Each structure stands twice: as structure tokens, then as C-alpha cells.
Amino acid sequence: MTVVNVNKVRRCALYARLSVTKEESVSITRQLQSCRRYAQARGWEVVGEFIDDGVSATANRPEDRKGWTTLLEAEGFDAVVIWKVDRLARRVLDFLHADEALQQRGAGLVAVEDPIDMTSPQGRAFAVMLAVFGEMEAEAIRARVRAARAQLLKDGRWAGGGIPYGYLSAANPDGPGRVLVKDPERLRWLTEAVMMALNGATVYAVTKWLTDEGAPLPNGGRNKRTPGNVEWNYHTVDRLLRNPILAGMTPRNPGRGRNAKDVDPFAVVRDESGTPVASESLAVITVSEFTALQNTLNSQESPQVRKRRDRVTTSPFLSRVARCDACDVYMCRGTNQKRPVIYCPKCKQTLSRTTLDPYLVERLHAERGSEPLAAATVQDCWDAAGADELAKREVLLTQLESLRIRRGVVGRYFDEERVLLRWRPSLVSAGTCRTATTDS
């Protein structure tokens, strides 16, 4: 590992990160301002500024963040200036990996607010201790949140999160906080949908019925992406039918988990004897009926249960190409409200191909178009493929080392941060051009 002398530093890069903007948080702008003043005081030239806004350090390793990755790909700096150690990492292992990546290229790490200087051995040792305390602090915060939530559930209050369809959040009549109550406007739609599923209707059939009948959508009754669109989503209905609130039970951790396999519909609040605590005032079916409903849903196939004539053919361009970053399985191609998507068969995360495919093609042309391929270039082979999607897929695979998709914020438009793309390191690729064929 190379040790960098702070006295020899002449040029530096600035890095700032923020998970969520809060009143007590230090904004990206303020972080960069502090870093600039620090560099100016030392007479260092700032050669670049890199940010990761809205990115959690606990959930995302530095090497998986776009801003940090772009920083490592840059040239011409001797040190990286950050505001505090926890802006880079919240876990010791992540911090050490990030520092090692800088040391391998002969650069050091400097924190403005923490009394450390990673350009010296003593500074690195102290920084590791700060990283340890940062990890302990993050765990302490999680423990306090879990304890507070457990107390709210014990008191029968609403602990926050997404409000289930067919319910409302109301002021607690027996004390502080809020509680769930049935939503009279949407309750009849919820009850009918559950009865249909209990009687054997598939999730797709229930989804189609809700759309055809004009049932109001969750969160205001309109599709925010397509104003005026009242089409229901298959996965929305599937989650609705798997929510234990239908039987008056309270999930221990409501909401969407990172992995669907970790979301157990029977992981609910229980009493001392282990019996689920159920509120009759919230239930639309009994606990036994909810169990039967889950068995019925588990016995059905996913979206392919729909009739073949109703399925939409999608491009094979990304067939067995992208993997779910959380589940490490290939993502499948399908449709969501008649628009092409790829989705994880385990955790059910989806990503629109309407924006993903052009994004990948643009990066392939810009970053690998001039790479040699089969006595030509990647761009030449791509052009020769014409409209043949399988041929284009082969060209992409010759350059691709890995393509992983991670979960994003529900309801957001295309987010480049979700796409973890790595090209093959070799500049020489093997393969043959496959020209597109047309019917004569």
C-alpha cells in the first residue's frame, strides 16, 4: 500500500454524499463549500467534484455508487477531500475498501470535520477507529428505531409507512399518535377483490376486473405517470392480496422488502402465546381465510397465467442478460400495463425497458463503439445487425462483464443509479459479426 505525503499533494478531488435531505442534515452544497475552503487553505488545486445525492451509505457500498465510481475513473489528483468519514462509508469494511482503492492509485483521503488525514499512516489508523464508531452509531440508530416501532405496535398504533389499500390513517381516539381505520370509499373494492381471489380468480383476473370497473387506484386514484390512466398493476394487486391487514393482523415490518422471499405474510405481531393479534375492526376476512388465500396465490403462476392471446411479445435483447442485484438471479422480460419491462422473479422489482434499452445502447456506442470486434468494430457489428435483436444481444454480450439492477424508489422515473454496468476489461474481443436477415 502506498503512503502519500500530505506535503506533496498538489491536486485534489472533492466528494460529497447525502442520503435524505433533512433539517439537521448537511447539504451537498455545504459539504462541497467546506471542502473547497479546506483545499484553498492548503493551496491545493481542485480538479473535480463528485456527488452521490440520495444514496444511503449503509445500503450502498462506495464501489456501487455512480459518483464514487466516476471519481475513481478520473485522473490527475493526489487526494480526495470529504466533509466527514461517514460521508464515504458507514461500515468499516466499506471504508477500508474505498481507502485501498485510493491508495492503489497513489492518492490519499482527507476529511474536513474529522481530525484525520489519510495521507499519513497515523491519520489512516485514526480514521479506521472513527469508522468503527460510525458503524456503531448506525447500529444504535437502527436499534432505537426498532424499539420505538415495537412500542407503537404494542400500543395498537400505526407505526407509519405505506397505508394499505382500503384503509386510512386517523387520529388515535385513545391517546397520542395515529391508528388505521377502514376507508369507506375503497373498502368495497378491496372486499370484492379479496372475495374473487378466495373463490379462485387469478391475480390477473382481479387486476383486469379492477381496471374494467374503474376502481380508484391507491394514492389518490390516478396513475401519476400517465395522467388519466386508471389501469391497475398486477404486482400492486398481488401485494394487496398478501397483506395480513386483510385479516386484521399487523405486519412486524410492513412495506416492500428488498427481497420478496424475506417478506412473510405471516410475520405479524403476536401475543405471548404466539397467536397472531388480530383486530376485528380492521379485518375483511378471517385468519383462516387469509391462510387459504395465501395458499391459493402461491399455487398460481405469476403473470404468465394470463391467456396467450393477451400476452405482449417483448424484445429478446436483454434475455438472460441482467441480474437482480439483491437476489442474484436473471431478470425476466415481460410487460407492465402493456409497456415492456424486466422484472425479478423473486423480489418482483421491475425496471422499464422503454428507457433502459436506449440507455444501454447509448452507453455501448459511446463507451465501446470503437472497440475491435471480429476484424471490425463494435459499432460496425451493431450496424450490420440491423433490426435483428438477437444479433444485437450478441454484440452487447461480447463487451459486457456484468449488468445488475438494484432496487429503487417506488414510483420514480428511470434512475441511472439502479443500473450497475461493467464492461469487459480487455480491449480485444472475440466473436463474429452476425448480419441481420430479411424475408425475401
Set of cell numbers at residue 227 = 395522467
Cα–Cα distance for residue pair 371/428, rounded to 1 Å: 7
Set of cell numbers at residue 68 = 464514487
Cα–Cα distance for residue pair 151/82, rounded to 1 Å: 38
Q: Give residues with Cβ within 8 angstroms of 133, minimum separation 6.
A: none
> If we measure between CA atoms, which residue out of 199, 187, 298, 200 comes closest to residue 242?
298
- Give the torsion through C-alpha atoms of 133, 139, 143, 149, to 10 deg: 130
Find out if CATH 3.90.1750 is the number for domain 167-305: yes
Find out if CATH 3.40.50.1390 is the number for domain 6-141: yes
Three-state SS string across 123-159, please? Answer: HHHHHHHHHHHHHHHHHHHHHHHHHHHHHHHHCCCCC
Q: Are strands 323-324 and 332-336 parallel, antiparallel or unpaired?
A: unpaired
Domain ranges of the chain: 6-141, 167-305, 313-423
- Give the torsion through C-alpha atoms of 248, 254, 255, 259, to 10 deg: -120
pLDDT 10s per residue in the chain (440 long)?
334 455 566 899 999 998 876 545 688 999 999 999 999 998 999 999 999 988 888 778 888 899 999 999 998 898 999 998 888 887 777 888 888 888 888 888 888 887 666 556 666 666 666 666 666 766 776 677 666 666 656 666 666 667 889 888 878 777 777 878 888 889 999 999 999 998 888 888 999 999 988 899 886 544 444 445 568 888 889 888 988 888 888 776 654 444 444 467 777 767 777 777 777 888 888 988 988 888 888 877 554 445 555 555 788 899 889 999 988 999 998 887 678 889 998 888 888 899 999 999 999 999 999 999 988 999 999 999 999 999 999 999 999 999 999 887 655 577 888 999 999 986 544 444 554 444 43
Query: What pTM does this model have?
Result: 0.44
